Amino acid sequence: MTLTKAISKLCLPLTVLVAATVAVPALAQKHDPANDRSRLLLIFAPTEDSKPLNAEYEALQKDTGEVNSEDVDIVYVIGDNTVKLPPPDSRTETAENMRKRYHVDATGFRIVLVGRDGWEKKRWSEPTDPHAILSRAADMPRPKSALDPEH
């Protein structure tokens, strides 16, 4: 047997062994519901009486059931108010910090859809139909734990 044949015969078992040593610890980790994140819909507005803010608010109120069924938390970032983030973060954040993080100026109206991974997925600069927003949210992948029927 040549050296090349001997190495090729060892490659498959070695690959399986390496994959198993990586996968087994990952499978052994327990699902922690405290780390589950909803998708966030951040709505930025300069003031409470902003026309775009009120238009978006009314549209979302009409579709509350659909928003809830898509597992989307809505967070309003208005003026210089503080914002309470939903679990698992559950912390208070200043509007200024939120605006810096998502690159929204203090006078602008923006809708920002944030995925479960915390990264921005899509943004709109004017009031948008909730169905259009939620169709984007539905396309975003769910974590494996959310798809696993045992959890």
**Every domain of the chain and the residues it spans:** 1-30, 34-143
Statement: residue 108 has pLDDT above 50: yes
Enter the tokens of residue 151. 């959890």
- Note the pTM of the prediction, 2 decimals: 0.67
Average pLDDT, the chain: 76
Beta strand ranges found along the chain (DSSP E): 39-45, 72-78, 82-84, 92-94, 110-114, 120-124
Question: Residues 6 or more apart from 75 whose CB is under 8 A from it?
Answer: 40, 41, 42, 43, 83, 84, 85, 86
Statement: residue 76 has pLDDT above 60: yes
Look at residue 68 in the predicted model and tell me its pLDDT. Answer: 74
Higher pLDDT, 43 or 29: 43
Look at residue 87 in the predicted model and tell me its pLDDT. Answer: 84
C-alpha torsion angle, residues 58, 66, 85, 38 (rounded to 10)? -160
Q: Report the distance separating Cα 103 and Cα 82, nearest Å.
A: 17
Distance of CA 70 to the CA centre of its chain: 12
Whether the CB-CB separation of 59 and 51 falls below 8 Å is answered with no
Helix 51-62 vs helix 130-139: crossing angle, to nearest 10? 70
Task: Classify 79 as helix, strand or coil.
Answer: coil
Look at residue 97 in the predicted model and tell me its pLDDT. Answer: 94
63 falls in which pLDDT band (50, 70, 90)?
Answer: confident
Whether the CB-CB separation of 95 and 79 falls below 8 Å is answered with yes
Q: Return the amino acid letter for 65.
A: G
Higher pLDDT, 55 or 116: 55
Statement: residue 35 has pLDDT above 70: no
Architecture of domain 34-143: 3-Layer(aba) Sandwich (3.40)
